[in-house]
Structure 1
Amino acid sequence: MGSIFLPHLRSGWHVDQAILSEDDRLVVIRFGREEESQCMIIDEILYSISEKIKNFAVIYLCNIDRVPDFNQMYELEMGDRQLEPFTIMFFHRNKHMMCDFGTGNNNKLNFMIRDKQELIDIIETIYRGAKKGKGLVVSPRDYSSIRKFRS
């Protein structure tokens, strides 16, 4: 249901424009397939926090089948196989923001976070780091012990 209310980026041009158009806020893009269960869950969580973070972040959704432009570049798929149920990436002033979650992958958030405040804290930490000119920030929590969710 959350995917109905959040804005969808319907082409590579729209993704680029979303990243380029924000001068101050963090751009949060969820890449995935909204019909998959894990993606539906994270979309609900993203929608539920969107109003709370609107002053410092904006959330967009991008279906990797309809917009395959970034699948190789952001390592979202290998061949025709999606690597994770979803991938969340962060951008600030046309710069890809990285976050050390303790998982070994600083480029993206690709694991389930069900706690809304926890996700708000991550987004806010990345935003604060971006405002200070940092390209890499450390997550407020270490996720090195998480297990990957697979449908």
Structure 2
Amino acid sequence: MGSVFLPHLNTAWHVDQAILSEDDRLVIIRFGREEESQCMIIDELLFSISEKIKNFGVIYLVNLDKVPDFNQMYELDEDPFCLMFFYRNKHMMCDFGTGNNNKLNFMIYDKQELIDIIETIYRGARKGKGLVISPKDYSRNIY
């Protein structure tokens, strides 16, 4: 279970501190509910890549029921899970071709594919971009 091994942020203050504390790495936050199957799958995937991305990204998990503070602002309740990306206290947006640039809210099953997305967002963030184009168009993946 990936959610057991990845750090959880249990208050809005902890979320803010995690985002503020990183100067050089991308902060990846998975918002969701651990008991939902898609969330379990993405947590496993995140755990499996966490060591590979540790030099440029750090992953945290947030349970939407325990920390509801961001649900309305980012429309988080609509999805079984979502990944959001932050760099130097700035919300990083990514164009996946899905029409939603605020978050990744669709399933990815391939480790390298997720690493590529995170690396692309990190590189764009380092260049000062606020919106990054995903390495792949996911518009056909959405049902």
- Structure 1 length as normaliser, TM-score? 0.94
| One of 80, 84, 102 as aligned partner of 1:85 | 80
Who is 1:140 aligned against?
Answer: 135
1:68 aligns to what?
68
Query: Residue in 2 aligned with 1:122?
Result: 117
CA distance in 1 between partners of 2:20 and 2:94 (Å): 20
Q: 1:131 aligns with which of 113, 117, 126?
A: 126
* Match 1:97 to one of 86, 92, 99: 92
1:28 and 2:20 matched:
no
Mark the runs of 5 or more structure 1 residues left unpaired by the alignment.
Answer: 78-82
Q: Give the distance between the partners of 1:39 and 1:28, measured in 2 at CA.
A: 14
| Cα distance in 1 between the residues matched to 2:102 and 2:70 | 13
**Identical pairs, percent:** 83
Structure 2 residue aligned with 1:12:
12
Looking at structure 1, the residues matched to 107 and 66 of structure 2 have their Cα atoms a distance apart, in angstroms, of 23
Cα distance in 1 for residues equivalent to 2:70 and 2:80: 16
Gaps in structure 2 of 5+ consecutive residues: none
Runs of 4 or more off by more than 4 Å in structure 1? none
Q: RMSD of the alignment, in Å?
A: 0.6
Give 1:93 deviation, angstroms.
0.3
SS at match of 1:111: coil
* C-alpha distance in 2 between matches for 1:117 and 1:55: 16
Residue 147 (structure 1) shift: 2.5
Alpha-carbon offset, residue 97 of structure 1 = 0.1
Query: What's the CA shift string for 1:93-150, capped at 9, x where partnerless?
Result: 00000000000000000000000000000000000000000000000000010134xx
Which residue is equivalent to 1:110?
Answer: 105
